[in-house]
Amino acid sequence: MEPHRIRILVVDDHALLRAGLAASIGAEPDMEIAAAAANGQEAVELFRQHQPDVTLMDLKMPVMGGVEAIEAIRGECPAAKVVVLSTYEGDDDIFRALRAGAASYLLKNTLAEDLVRVIREVFAGGRPLPAPVTQKLADRMLVPDLTARELDVLRLIAKGMRNKEIAAELGIGDETTRGHVKNILAKLGLHDRTEAVAVAVKRGIVHIE
């Protein structure tokens, strides 16, 4: 009887990367590509169709991002095994992906042999994390969470908006906006808005495209 091959769904919006992953994974005797998706919405649909053993998930994609796709897939299939493969290395990116249900988090500069090893470990029920990812996750756990509204304000600060513009955009008062900014700076341990944007981008709280 032929042994079970690990069936993998590859999700990335770059066709060249999908092809490269398919070539690397397809060369492994115990693995095969079940399907490939170009965005999170396609990933959810193809997961339903193919029920892969492991899903390789990018985070930054059009239509639906990786974290949202992980949440959708795991919402329908709590046993789904997802490995994030991303260029994002901020501690907040890592935290959100693992909170959504990812079993592992790898950067796209991961060596092919390490990638296939992690796929095998995740398929076997493991949750392997590289040491740098574990350290960043530990650092993130020491930082208070920003509320949803504080995140909205921070994203608008990153767009260069002043308090009055933010208040108008969100439909809140100037005093309320100032309070949110004060809380953001206090939680991040910073002194001004410029620092807040720099730290938010570095940690993956905000992405400036």
Rg from Cα positions in the chain: 19
Neighbours of 94 (CB within 10 A): 27
Helix (H, G, I), strand (E, B) or coil at 162: coil
pLDDT of residue 206: 87
Q: Which one-letter DSSP state was computed for residue 86?
A: E
pLDDT of residue 87: 92
For Cα atoms 40, 139, 78, give the angle at the middle one, nearest 5 degrees.
35
- Rounded Cα gap, residues 65 and 74, in angstroms: 14
Region 71-91: mean pLDDT is 95
Question: Boundaries of CATH 3.40.50.2300 in the chain?
Answer: 6-141
| Inter-residue contact 67 to 97 (CB < 8 Å) | yes
- Rounded Cα gap, residues 130 and 112, in angstroms: 14
| Inter-residue contact 197 to 157 (CB < 8 Å) | yes
Q: In what order do the strands lie in the sheet with 54-57?
A: 31-37, 6-11, 54-57, 82-86, 104-107
Q: What are the tens digits of pLDDT across the range 121-165?
A: 999 999 999 999 999 888 888 888 899 999 999 999 999 999 999
Q: Which CATH architecture has domain 6-141?
A: 3-Layer(aba) Sandwich (3.40)
- Here the tokens at position 128 are 């392997």
Element (H, E) at 34: strand 31-37
Backbone angles phi, psi at 84, to 5 degrees: -80, 135
Indicate the pLDDT class of residue 2, thresholds 50, 70 and 90: low
CATH 3.30.70.270 is held by the domain 148-203:
no
Give first-to-last CA distance, the chain, whole Å.
50
Q: At what angle do helices 112-123 and 15-26 cross, to 10 degrees?
A: 70
Neighbours of 148 (CB within 10 A): 8
Q: What percent of the chain has pLDDT over 70?
A: 98
Helix (H, G, I), strand (E, B) or coil at 207: coil
pLDDT of residue 144: 84
| Pairing verdict, β 6-11 and 31-37 | parallel
- Here the tokens at position 140 are 């993130």
Question: Boundaries of CATH 1.10.10.10 in the chain?
Answer: 148-203
Indicate the pLDDT class of residue 1, thresholds 50, 70 and 90: low
Question: Which residues have CB under 8 Å from 164's CB, separation 6+?
Answer: 174, 177
Q: What are the tens digits of pLDDT across the range 97-133?
A: 999 999 999 999 999 999 999 999 999 999 999 999 9
pLDDT of residue 93: 93
